[in-house]
């Protein structure tokens, strides 16, 4: 069965990339040499860097396992400037006295775009269903009213207020 290996990178305690796998290079467009020793912020769009820096500083002060799939989407940017949406899992550990962080990265851009498109389509279909249900209800209610009138006997019709039109038609 096919297995997808997520993009991954090993970061030092200053959040510099010390190692990356080919999938990381494929997603972001950097060669291993280009991305090596770069701060992780190189993969973050400039308008989000300050906020991202705050989050990474907070993470380093209190490391914990940070898993994908919790609805935490992170904006990312490729070497050529294309923006992506990624999910990231972080796990920190210590090797030979050095604090390291393993980052597993999954590009979820297409999935998020598909979800947005599906939500928009559902809203359109709900609007169409609402319109059609109202278009059908009115004639059905009219037909039901007429059937109820036909099923009424003459005395019941006489008791309807302001039914002179009905009385004229009934007598025919």
Position 131 scores a pLDDT of 85
The per-residue pLDDT for range 63-117, each reduced to its tens digit, is 877 776 566 788 999 999 999 999 998 899 989 999 999 999 999 999 889 999 9
The per-residue pLDDT for range 10-46, each reduced to its tens digit, is 999 999 999 999 999 999 999 999 999 999 999 999 9
Contacts of 129 (CB under 8 A, 6+ apart): none
Position 157 scores a pLDDT of 61
* pTM, two decimal places: 0.67
Contacts of 91 (CB under 8 A, 6+ apart): 65, 66, 101, 102
């Amino acid at each position: 069965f096919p297995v997808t290996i997520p993009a991954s990178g090993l970061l030092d305690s200053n959040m510099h990339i010390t190692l990356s796998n080919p999938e990381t290079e494929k997603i972001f467009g950097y060669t291993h040499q280009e991305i090596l020793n770069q701060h992780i912020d190189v993969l973050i769009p400039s308008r989000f860097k300050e906020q991202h820096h705050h989050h990474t500083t907070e993470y380093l002060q209190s490391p914990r396992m940070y898993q994908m799939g919790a609805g935490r989407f992170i904006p990312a940017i490729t070497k050529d400037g294309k923006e992506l949406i990624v999910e990231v899992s972080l796990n920190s550990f210590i090797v030979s006295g050095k604090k390291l962080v393993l980052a597993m990265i999954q590009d979820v851009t297409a999935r998020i775009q598909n979800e947005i498109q599906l939500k928009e389509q559902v809203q359109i279909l709900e609007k169409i269903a609402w319109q059609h249900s109202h278009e059908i209800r009115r004639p059905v209610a009219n037909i039901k009213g007429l059937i109820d009138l036909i099923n009424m006997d003459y005395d019941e019709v006489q008791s309807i207020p302001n039914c002179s039109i009905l009385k004229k038609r009934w007598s025919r």
